[in-house]
C-alpha cells in the first residue's frame, strides 16, 4: 500500500468506545430536564420513573411477562455478582469463558466462592467454547457477547429448553443489539452504558421463574452483603422488581436511560436497534474484505459481534513482530486516530491480543463508521512508515 493522504471526510462523532458507548443520535443534556432531582427515589415521582424504566425495558427487549426485571447497584458487574453469589452452590457449575470478562467470572467462582464443583471451559481469544461440551444440568455462567474479543454466541440452539441447571448470562454488550432467547436464559444482566449509550453505575438483573424458585428454596453457605440480597426471610424482595431499589440510584441516570429507551421505541424498537448494529458491522466487514492487512479477531462470521468489533493487523510484516512490538504498533494506530480526532478509545482491551476494537452498537451512526474506515488505512500506513524508519 502506498503512502496515502489524510482522508477528506471525518466522522461527525468520533466516539467509538466500547463503554460507556456513544450517546444516541440527537442526545442533549436538555433531554434530561424532567429528572426529579433533589427528590427521594422513594417518593411517588421517583418510584414511577423507576417502574417506567423497568416497563420500557420489558417492552423494548421483549422480556416475558413472568420474568422479573430489577434495577440493581454497581452496573453490570453488580448484577452478575449478585446472581452468582445468590444462586450458585446448589448444584455443580460450568464456568464458560472466551475472553477477559468471562474469565473474571471464572475467577470469582473458583477463587472467591471456591466452588468445589466448578468445571471451567475456556476458549482462546477469537474462538468460542463448543456449547455441546457444556452440561446444562449444571448451572452455567457465560457471557453472551465477549466485549474484549468481539466473539458472541450465535444463538441459543445448543441450550436445552428443559434443563436442570440455571443459565446465568452476562449480556451487557448484547442486550438491545442481539436476540436473547429468554426461554433458554434464567439470568440476564446488562448495564445501561453499552448499546443504549446510557450511564454506568446501574445494572439490570432479569430473572426467570426458575431463578426465582432457586432464590426462594436455596440459601448459600456464605454470608451475603445487603447490596447483594434479593430475598428476605426466604421470600423474594418483590419491591426490587418494581423500582424499589436496594439503595439510592441516580435519578439523572434513570432519566437518561428513559430517554434512551424512548429513542429506541421511536426508531422501531429492538428490530431497529439490531438492524443498526448489523448495518454498522457491515460497514466494517466491507472494509476488512477490501484490505488484506486487517482481519477480524473472531475466527468465523457466525460468532462475530455486531457491537464490539475487534480487528487485528494481519500483514506478515506485522504478525512477524514480537508481541510487544505488535502491541506498540496497534497502540500507535489507535493513538494516531485519537490525535486526529477521528476515533476515540478504539485500542484493543488491555488483556486482548493487539489490535483495534470499534463499537458498532445501535447508537453509532453507519455514516460515521464509513468516514472512519479510510482513516484506519491512513493511520496504519503512517504507523508502517515509523516501522520503516526504525529499521
Give the footprint of ligand PLP on this chain (CB under 6 A). 19, 75-77, 101, 143, 147, 170, 172-173, 191, 193, 200
- Nearest CA to 46 out of 200, 243, 202, 193 is that of 243
Nearer Cβ to ligand PLP, position 353 or 374?
A: 353
3-class secondary-structure state, position 234: coil
Yes or no: say if 207 and 186 are a contact pair by the CB < 8 Å rule.
yes
Query: Which residue has cell 421463574?
Result: 209
Nearer Cβ to ligand PLP, position 101 or 136?
A: 101
Q: In this structure, are strands 151-152 and 231-232 parallel, antiparallel, or unpaired? A: unpaired
The least distance separating ligand PLP from the CB of residue 351, rounded to whole angstroms, comes to 12
Nearer Cβ to ligand PLP, position 38 or 225?
A: 225
Q: Return the exposure string of 23-40: e unless at least 16 CB atoms fall within 10 Å of the residue's CB, then b.
A: bbbebeeebbeebbeeee
Nearer Cβ to ligand PLP, position 19 or 354?
A: 19
The least distance separating ligand PLP from the CB of residue 382, rounded to whole angstroms, comes to 29
Yes or no: say if 313 and 332 are a contact pair by the CB < 8 Å rule.
no
Yes or no: say if 237 and 72 are a contact pair by the CB < 8 Å rule.
no
The least distance separating ligand PLP from the CB of residue 321, rounded to whole angstroms, comes to 28
The least distance separating ligand PLP from the CB of residue 16, rounded to whole angstroms, comes to 14
DSSP secondary structure letters along 60-110? HHT--TTSEEEEEESHHHHHHHHHHHHHTTSS-EEEEESSHHHHHHHHIII
Q: What φ, ψ does residue 287 adopt, rounded to 5°?
A: -65, -45
The least distance separating ligand PLP from the CB of residue 169, rounded to whole angstroms, comes to 10
The least distance separating ligand PLP from the CB of residue 334, rounded to whole angstroms, comes to 17
Task: List CB contacts of 389: < 8 A, sequence separation 6 or more.
Answer: none
Nearer Cβ to ligand PLP, position 323 or 350?
A: 350
Yes or no: say if 307 and 360 are a contact pair by the CB < 8 Å rule.
yes
The least distance separating ligand PLP from the CB of residue 129, rounded to whole angstroms, comes to 15
Nearer Cβ to ligand PLP, position 75 or 178?
A: 75
The least distance separating ligand PLP from the CB of residue 238, rounded to whole angstroms, comes to 25
The least distance separating ligand PLP from the CB of residue 24, rounded to whole angstroms, comes to 18
Yes or no: say if 171 and 144 are a contact pair by the CB < 8 Å rule.
yes
The least distance separating ligand PLP from the CB of residue 194, rounded to whole angstroms, comes to 7
Report the distance separating Cα 46 and Cα 148, nearest Å: 35
Query: Which residue has cell 446465568?
Result: 168
Q: What φ, ψ does residue 54 adopt, rounded to 5°?
A: -70, -45
Task: List CB contacts of 26: < 8 A, sequence separation 6 or more.
Answer: 263
Nearer Cβ to ligand PLP, position 153 or 236?
A: 153
Nearer Cβ to ligand PLP, position 147 or 306?
A: 147
Nearer Cβ to ligand PLP, position 241 or 349?
A: 349
Residue 67 pairs with which residues in a beta bridge? none
Yes or no: say if 309 and 285 are a contact pair by the CB < 8 Å rule.
no
Nearer Cβ to ligand PLP, position 77 or 326?
A: 77
Sign for the CA dihedral angle at 243, 246, 252, 258 comes to negative
Amino acid at each position: 500500500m502506498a503512502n496515502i493522504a489524510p482522508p477528506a471526510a471525518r466522522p461527525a462523532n468520533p466516539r467509538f468506545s466500547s463503554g460507556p458507548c456513544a450517546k444516541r443520535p440527537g442526545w442533549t443534556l436538555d433531554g434530561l430536564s424532567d429528572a426529579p432531582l433533589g427528590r427521594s427515589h422513594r417518593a411517588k415521582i421517583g418510584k414511577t420513573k423507576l417502574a417506567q424504566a423497568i416497563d420500557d425495558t420489558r417492552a423494548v427487549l421483549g422480556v416475558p411477562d413472568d420474568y422479573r426485571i430489577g434495577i440493581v447497584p454497581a452496573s453490570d458487574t453488580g448484577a452478575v455478582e449478585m446472581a452468582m453469589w445468590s444462586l450458585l452452590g446448589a448444584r455443580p457449575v460450568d464456568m464458560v469463558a472466551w475472553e477477559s470478562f468471562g474469565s473474571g467470572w471464572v475467577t470469582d467462582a473458583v477463587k472467591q466462592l471456591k466452588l468445589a464443583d466448578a468445571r471451567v471451559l475456556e476458549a482462546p481469544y477469537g474462538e468460542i467454547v463448543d456449547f455441546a461440551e457444556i452440561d446444562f444440568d449444571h448451572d452455567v455462567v457465560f457471557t453472551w457477547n465477549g466485549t474484549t474479543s468481539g466473539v458472541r454466541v450465535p444463538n441459543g440452539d445448543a441450550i436445552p429448553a428443559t434443563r436442570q441447571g440455571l443459565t446465568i448470562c452476562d449480556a451487557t454488550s448484547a442486550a438491545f443489539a442481539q436476540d436473547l432467547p429468554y426461554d433458554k436464559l434464567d439470568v440476564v444482566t446488562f448495564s445501561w452504558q453499552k448499546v443504549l449509550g446510557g450511564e454506568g453505575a446501574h445494572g439490570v438483573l432479569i430473572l426467570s421463574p426458575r431463578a426465582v424458585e432457586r432464590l426462594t428454596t436455596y440459601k448459600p453457605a456464605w454470608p451475603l452483603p445487603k447490596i447483594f440480597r434479593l430475598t428476605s426471610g426466604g421470600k423474594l424482595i418483590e419491591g426490587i422488581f418494581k423500582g424499589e431499589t436496594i439503595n439510592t440510584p441516580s435519578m439523572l441516570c434513570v432519566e437518561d436511560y428513559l430517554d434512551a429507551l424512548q429513542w429506541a421505541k421511536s426508531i422501531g424498537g429492538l428490530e431497529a436497534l439490531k438492524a443498526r448494529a448489523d448495518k454498522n458491522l457491515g460497514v466494517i466487514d466491507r472494509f476488512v474484505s477490501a484490505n488484506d492487512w486487517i482481519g477480524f479477531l473472531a475466527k468465523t462470521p457466525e460468532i462475530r459481534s455486531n457491537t464490539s468489533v475487534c480487528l487485528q493487523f494481519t500483514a506478515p510484516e506485522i504478525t512477524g513482530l514480537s508481541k510487544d512490538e505488535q502491541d506498540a504498533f496497534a497502540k500507535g494506530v489507535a493513538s494516531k486516530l485519537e490525535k486526529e480526532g477521528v476515533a476515540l478509545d478504539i485500542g484493543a482491551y488491555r488483556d486482548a491480543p493487539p489490535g483495534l476494537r470499534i463499537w458498532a452498537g445501535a447508537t453509532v451512526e453507519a455514516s460515521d463508521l464509513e468516514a472512519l474506515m479510510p482513516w484506519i488505512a491512513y493511520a496504519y500506513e503512517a504507523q508502517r512508515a515509523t516501522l520503516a524508519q526504525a529499521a
